[in-house]
Amino acid sequence: MNRTWTIGLLAASLAGCATSSPQLQTEQTYQVEWIGERPLIDSSHLTITLGDDGRAYGNAGCNHWFAGYTLTGAQISFSAAGSTRKMCAPALMEQEARFLENLSTVQRWDFSATEQLRLWPAEGKPLRLWPEDS
């Protein structure tokens, strides 16, 4: 293969990678890492999955939650969330309440420089999430 052509092909491939930006995916589960200014309690597991049908759901740390959502460009909003009614340790229940309260105020989404999904509430710091491995 011609060396010039090979270098050109490599440069074009790398340029394509450099300009691609992450996209919010439906039917992808995202794991919550931070709720506003606070990280999650050790070993707790909170998730968000945006269904293709306009329904969001996941694990709130203790209970499973579900809500409708609307996604238009960079704007996203969630309806009031419902959840199962299991009781857990008080700290876990407090974190779950903060998560669901914060989720109900989300207005937009973006990705950080490290490709972490951020869901921004009307005020304050965002929910920060990573995609789970499929």
Query: So what's the pLDDT on residue 134?
Result: 59
The separation between the first and the last C-alpha atoms of the chain, rounded to the nearest angstrom, is 37
Instruction: Give me the CATH number covering residue 53.
Output: 2.40.128.270
**18 in a structural domain:** no
Structural tokens at position 111: 């990705």
Per-residue model confidence (pLDDT) at position 11? 44
The pLDDT value recorded for residue 131 is: 95
* Tokens standing for residue 46: 């909170």
**Number of domains composing the chain:** 1
Residue 21: the pLDDT is: 74
How many whole angstroms separate alpha carbon 56 and alpha carbon 6? Answer: 45
- Dmax (CA) for the chain in angstroms is 67
Q: Does residue 14 lie within any of the structural domains?
A: no
User: What is the chain's pLDDT, residue by residue, as a tens digit (134 residues)?
Assistant: 545 444 444 444 444 444 467 889 999 999 999 999 999 998 899 999 999 999 999 999 999 999 999 999 999 999 999 999 999 999 999 999 999 999 999 999 999 999 999 999 989 999 999 999 85
Q: Which range of residues forms the domain containing residue 31? A: 24-131
Residue 82 belongs to some domain of the structure: yes
Torsions phi, psi for 102 (to 5 deg): -65, -40
Asked if the structure places residue 76 within a domain, the reply is yes
Distance CA 3, CA 104 (A): 56
